Amino acid sequence: MNTNDLIFLICIIILLIAVIILALRLFLLRSSIRSISKELENTLKSDYNRQIKIDLSDAALNDLAVNINKNLDEQKKLKLKEERSRRQLEQSVADIAHDLRTPLTIVKGNLQLLDSEALSEKGRQYLDVSTKKTEALKNMVDEFFELSVLESDPTPARLETIDLTAFLTEFLIDHEELIRAHSLEPEIQLQEREINVSANREMLQRVFENLISNILKYANNSFFIKLTENGSLTVGNKLAGGVTIDTEHIFDRTYRADKARSSGSAGLGLYIAKLLMEKQNGTITASDSAGILSFRLEFTKP
């Protein structure tokens, strides 16, 4: 082998060694990046309550991990600050609502006392308006108070086995007078046997009160309740003329179908109903087809 061939062979060997070193280096870098990615994913799942802990051979990647940890610390601080602000706001709403309830109750009581007094026709008109507005304001305050309690209470709901057939029958009997007062014709389809679900009776009662309240506002002549054998429940009504519903946002806070309408409500009823269903491990969804608004309620089995 002559000198030129020997030099060429040495160059080839050096080049192969360099390629192997570079390939190994690339493999180690890719492995380190995957480790960082996995650690970051685990950190995010733990609500920033951990940091990336990894020993890297590359100084640049070590610097990257350090900077990521600094960013995670800031994210955690921001999250804690946001949580404190949210709780403070909820507490403020609850305090304000609680403080307003007492004077409103007194005002309402005084107006009821005035109702028994001899008043002029004009005075009677003023009293009627004041009574309606006071009742509307009290309903709004009650909604805000209920919402603040629901959102700030992390305690799981106490669930029990409830027969939906019996529950709905009793609910309709209790609200028969209210339904008739609004000239609504109910179309009821229940099962002849027990349909048991896992729910909280008081929360379920509140859900249906909010649904009935929505029906009384927007129904056109009638409403329906359908309970299937598998426990799926649908409540709905044909909408009055001119009323349109955005079902994508119907469960948003303060949503109103008619924003110009004074309904004596803060618009929280359906949002509260959704929260109550979720606390019972159930769901409620809405759909609008050919002017018929339907709410579908799904429960877990006992």
- pLDDT tens-digit readout, 67-100: 777 777 777 788 788 777 777 766 776 677 777 7
Question: Is 90 exceeded by the pLDDT of residue 197?
Answer: yes
Give me 229's structure tokens.
């054998």
Residue 20, sorted as left (phi over 0), alpha (psi -120 to 50) or beta, turns out to be alpha
Q: Beta-strand (E) ranges in 170-256?
A: 185-189, 196-199, 219-227, 233-239
Question: Is 90 exceeded by the pLDDT of residue 231?
Answer: no
Placement of tokens 């070590």 in the chain? 62
Q: How far apart are CA 234 and CA 292, in angstroms?
A: 12
pLDDT band at residue 41, thresholds of 50, 70 and 90?
A: confident
Q: How far apart are CA 270 and CA 92, in angstroms?
A: 22
pTM of the model: 0.62
What pLDDT, in 10s, does the model give residues 140-152? Answer: 777 777 777 777 7
What pLDDT, in 10s, does the model give residues 25-40? Answer: 777 777 777 777 777 7
Q: How far lies 220's CA from each of 145, 160, 171, 216, 293, in Å?
A: 31, 35, 21, 9, 11
Alpha-carbon dihedral sign for residues 196, 198, 202, 208: negative
Q: pLDDT: is 279 or 84 the higher one?
A: 279
Q: How far apart are CA 93 and CA 144, in angstroms?
A: 7
Give me 213's structure tokens.
């309240």
Of 21, 20, 82, 15, whose CA–CA distance to 47 is shortest? 82
Lowest mean pLDDT among 51-60, 121-130, 196-205: 51-60
**Beta partners for residue 295, in sequence order:** 235, 286
What pLDDT, in 10s, does the model give residues 107-125? Answer: 888 888 888 888 888 888 8
Q: Beta-strand (E) ranges in the chain?
A: 160-163, 185-189, 196-199, 219-227, 233-239, 283-289, 292-298
The DSSP result for 96-128, as a single string, is: HHHHHHHHHHHHHHHHHHHTTS---HHHHHHHH
Alpha-carbon dihedral sign for residues 39, 42, 44, 50: negative
